[in-house]
Amino acid sequence: MFYSVSDLSKQRANSMRAKPTLSDYDLSDSDADLIQRLGNLELALDGAKRESRDEEIAPFQVGAFIGVGIGLVVGFLLLNIAAGLLVGAVGFCIGYLKVLSDTHSERSKIKRISREISAIQIDPSLHSVISAYRDDLQIWDEEWQRSKKRWTSMAGQEFEREFAKLLTKDGWEAEVTPGSGDGGVDIKAQDPNGDAFWFQCKRWNARCGVDPIRKMVGTLVIEGANATAVVLCTGGFTESAEATASKAGVVLWGIEEVMQLMQE
């Protein structure tokens, strides 16, 4: 059967493979330390190269800019062209030498980090395995970011429907409530153990405050429901919301919990 790109996107919306682990590649903790060290050095090297590119300004241009600026100021203040030229020449030399020094420092830093990377001894038999693991981890991270972006770009009702589907995929029973008169409850669900959960979903970019939490608590009391209240907000929660939820026994979920469910 042929699937279009949009079909495949929908098909993957509620699922994502688990994050690659060391055991998947028969790698040990010592291998992990090596990978971490190598990764940190490569990040440092990339940063040093970016800084070096940002500072690739001709020393002559910088020196001339500083020298002319200082010279004009001194000449104007002292009404003495000769003094202005003299101070300008000094300023030029200072600017020129400063840029040369910074450039040399950055190049030395790049060489030092490159030597450290070259000095790391990796068993040839492990080299390809480590490379494969790191490549797979990078691909997974890109998939994770794309999936997260999709969830955080949904409209409110679409988010509720997709999240209910996600719960169902993971063995829950989930039902989206009507759009009005729901008392703040967007999804009523039961986990695989039969325990009841009532969800209020907020597909917000901003952090959630205390009002939705208080509303959920009030609804549970009025309905006399024997269910765990969960407020899900993709933008996170304020400190006061977290404190209120802790006192009221309300569970707070963010986008991380949604992504975790996708991998189960």
User: Which tens digit of pLDDT belongs to each residue from 148-186?
Assistant: 999 999 998 999 999 999 999 888 999 999 876 678 899
- Residue 10 confidence (pLDDT): 39
**For residues 253 and 231, is the Cβ–Cβ distance under 8 A?**
yes
Q: Is the pLDDT of residue 92 over 80?
A: no
Residue 97, amino acid: L
pLDDT level of residue 129 (50, 70, 90 thresholds): confident
Q: Between 61 and 50, whose confidence is greater?
A: 50
Mean pLDDT, residues 53-64 taken together:
49
- The model's pLDDT over 180-232, given as tens digits with 9 standing for 90+, comes to 667 889 999 999 999 999 999 999 999 999 999 999 999 999 989 899 999 99
The pair phi, psi for residue 2, each rounded to 5°, is: -90, 135
143 has a pLDDT exceeding 60: yes
Q: pLDDT at position 43, please?
A: 81
Q: Cβ distance 69 to 94 under 8 Å? A: no
97: Cβ contacts below 8 Å, ≥ 6 apart: 59, 63
Q: Is the pLDDT of residue 68 over 70?
A: no
Using alpha carbons, select from 255, 249, 131, 169 the residue that is nearest to residue 204.
255
Contacts of 5 (CB under 8 A, 6+ apart): none
What value does the mean pLDDT take over residues 32-52?
A: 76
Task: Report the alpha-carbon distance of residue 60 to residue 157 in Å, rounded.
Answer: 61
Quote the pLDDT of residue 88.
54
Residue 172 pLDDT: 93
Instruction: Answer with the residue of higher pLDDT: 46 or 65.
Output: 46
More confident residue, 30 or 230: 230
pLDDT at 106 over 80: no
Whether pTM exceeds 0.85 = no
Q: In which residue are the tokens 């967007």 written? A: 186
**Distance between CA atoms of residues 212 and 135, nearest Å:** 42
| Average pLDDT taken over every residue of the chain | 77
The fold of the 156-262 domain, in CATH, is: Trna Endonuclease; Chain: A, domain 1 (3.40.1350)
One-letter-per-residue 3-state SS of the chain:
CCCCHHHHHHHHCCCCCCCCCHHHHCCCHHHHHHHHHHHHHHHHHHHHHHHHHHCCCCHHHHHHHHHHHHHHHHHHHHCCHHHHHHHHHHHHHHHHHHHHHHHHHHHHHHHHHHHHHHHCCCCHHHHHHHHHHHHHHHHHHHHHHHHHHHHHHCCHHHHHHHHHHHHHHCCCEEEECCCCCCCCCCEEEECCCCCEEEEEEECCCCCECCHHHHHHHHHHHHHCCCCEEEEEECCCECHHHHHHHHHHCCEEECHHHHHHHHCC
